[in-house]
Structure 1
Amino acid sequence: MATAKKAPAKTAAPAKKAAPAAKAAPATKAAPAKKAAAAPAKRAVNAAFMKALTPSAALAAVVGAAPLPRTEVVKQLWVYIKKHKLQNEANKRNIKSDAKLKAVFGKDEVTMFEMAGLIGKHLK
């Protein structure tokens, strides 16, 4: 008895893509939804940052003797640092201390991240 070879099954030819359907006419826009009556609440200001603090004598030599909020003290320090070119040229995150800043920081060079912690000791 002779064995008959079966012919491989033919795969179906890929179906042609149908032509894209015609786009429907845009629907008429509904009336805009009314916005919520209350606007989103603004972030609350932390009163501890805005409280005016009196600088020590060493810090007052740099930022002035008037009571200032902590944020303003840091801002005034940066004005002083940039005016006197006390940033390390190789690494701008480091601040070199002159005579006035050495009295505040207690070091020859501090990072900008240390600065906030060190001035906290000079505010009452």
Structure 2
Amino acid sequence: MATATAVPEATAIKTPLTLTDSAAVKVREIMATQDPLPAGLRIGVVGGGCSGFQYSMSFENQAGMMDKVLNFDGLKVFVDATSLVYLNGCVVDYVETLEAAGFKFENPSVKSTCGCGSSFSV
């Protein structure tokens, strides 16, 4: 008599950082204006601001030796190992409102932000 065995479901591999479609579109739009065309976007966390840390975004011509390279439909995002610790589970979005437009970081690791919203603590 044959017995059925349960096959474990494939576990989803979670990326440490997520870029929304609107953020990826905006990054590609800005990258297209650069000369020479950058290889990708660097997202990081640097010390500074009222609360201790700030997000940084810049274009890079190549990944660093210790970078994690994330791929969002062909858009490369470089994150250094130290920043990766602070960005784990973070979602980067691009929003446009009547008051402002810009990139918004939704980070589950953040415990508090400063009054102006430009820095955070973990």
Fold in common (TM above 0.5) = no
TM-score, structure 1 normalization: 0.23
Greater share of helix residues, 1 or 2? 1
TM-score when normalising by structure 2: 0.23
User: Which one has the bigger strand percentage?
Assistant: 2
Larger radius of gyration, structure 1 or 2?
1
